[in-house]
Amino acid sequence: MKTMKFRIKISYFILLAIFYGADCQVPEMPASLRDAVLDNNLVLKTMEAAVEMTGFESRTGLSPTDPYIGLGYLDGSPASIGNRVDFSVEQEFDFPGVYMNRSKAGKLKRDMGMLEYLQERQVQLTRARALWIQRTGLELSIALIQARLNDAQQLKSHYEKMVQEGEASQLALSQVSLQLVDLQSSLDDARSGLTQAELGLAEVCGGEVPVLGHTPLPSSREFNSDSLLARYMVAPAIKMKENQVRQREMERKIAAGKALPRFSAGYYSESVVNERFRGVNVGMSIPLWESRNTVKYSTAAISVASAELDRIRVEQRTRLLGKLDQREKLLQTIAAMENALEAVNGEELLANALEAGEISLSEYILTSEYYFSGMLKLIRYRTDLLLVENDLQKVYW
């Protein structure tokens, strides 16, 4: 299997160069995560075995049928006429063009197996990077919520003392306690999401997750819609449909060839007492019924495959434009959120204003909640942006 994996990777880079050109770029992903997916992902291992099986399958049916050898022994009656011995060797074969077209069809089948592997490779690497992005975003959210929770716990302790000393009301303490409960719930949700992301990474890495550490969210990148669309139009999903059309065309040629007469040739001998006859025999089938509708069926199958190719091209283009529009709206939302958070001036200034008595506790909780909620949303929007870009970038893998 190691040898097969090596062949697959070599073939992948050859096809990648053909599909995307020499300027192909791959977005950032921890090298350890990428290697873990390629080496241990169980789906890809299955696909590697399937590619190998397709290679064997594509080489079947390329030769003529096996020759037929016949031997006959007949007792003579009366005994004076002697016994008769017949011996024959016969070989049947289709019209010569059938074997050439079958060989071409076998190559298309091997290419299809490789394209299916490449498409699944894109899916698994894109999923791994999406889970890594989600994990990173959740770690940032957890750090933010934990810091906010620590501040809320200190604030609660402070107001508990103030209530005991009669300097604050029970209502103020209740406000702080309610905020604390809400923060703990948010922290539990974020931790649950992180666990799910790590379980997903374990699955996509075949149970062997590399040590990823704590990393910042990767940077957003620019996209040229025309260049990206050109890449999508030669992606494995499109190439598979194009290959399918060519397969259907080849099947029609094979069907047309099989509708022609088949031939047979062989050697025949007959021996009786002291008499022996030897010679060759030839034969030809008369194509009447066997392949009557095969060519029509193959022609219809080409039409279906071509329509499916047109559909997937339009679908890819529409989906790409939708993702680019979604990305642009997220960029606008992130810019607006960053400007709004700058106007609030940060959590520390709010805490100082509360301590100096410039604002009330209710004003502090309300305003700081806006700031905290905005920071969490900003992390989520940035994560969503990277997930959209990750989906767009899958054609780079």
Q: How far is CA 368 from the centre of its chain?
A: 43
Q: What is the DSSP letter of 358?
A: S
Asked if residues 99 and 60 have their Cβ atoms less than 8 Å apart, the reply is no
Does the structure show a pLDDT above 60 at 18?
Answer: no
How many Cβ atoms sit within 10 Å of the Cβ of residue 195?
12
- Token pair for 265: 């040739």
Fold of 2-64+97-260+294-396: Outer membrane efflux proteins (OEP) (1.20.1600)
pLDDT in tens, 96-125: 778 788 888 888 888 888 888 999 999 999
- Is 127 a residue whose pLDDT tops 50? yes
pLDDT of residue 101: 80
Look at the pTM and tell me if it is higher than 0.85: no
What CA–CA distance (Å, rounded) separates 152 from 180? 6
pLDDT at 128: 94
Task: Kindly indicate the confidence band of residue 8, based on its pLDDT and cuts at 50, 70 and 90.
Answer: very low
Q: Which residues sit opposite 280 in a β-bridge?
A: 267
pLDDT tens, position by position, 209-248: 888 877 777 778 788 888 888 888 888 889 999 999 999 8
pLDDT digits (tens, 9 = 90+) for 340-392: 877 765 566 666 666 777 666 666 666 777 778 888 899 999 999 999 999 99
Q: What is the pLDDT of residue 197?
A: 94
Q: Parse the chain into domains and list their residue ranges.
A: 2-64+97-260+294-396
Task: Give the residue among 181, 79, 204, 182 at the shortest CA–CA distance from 132.
Answer: 204
pLDDT in tens, 295-339: 888 889 889 999 999 999 999 999 999 999 999 999 999 999 888
Q: pLDDT band at residue 180, thresholds of 50, 70 and 90?
A: confident
Q: In what order do the strands lie in the sheet with 263-272?
A: 68-74, 84-93, 263-272, 275-284
Q: Inform me whether the pLDDT recorded for 255 exceeds 50.
A: yes
Sign of the CA dihedral 273, 274, 275, 276?
A: positive
Helix (H) or strand (E) holding 265: strand 263-272
pLDDT in tens, 264-295: 888 888 888 778 888 888 887 777 776 778 88
Residue 162 has pLDDT above 50, yes or no: yes
| pLDDT value at 168 more than 70 | no
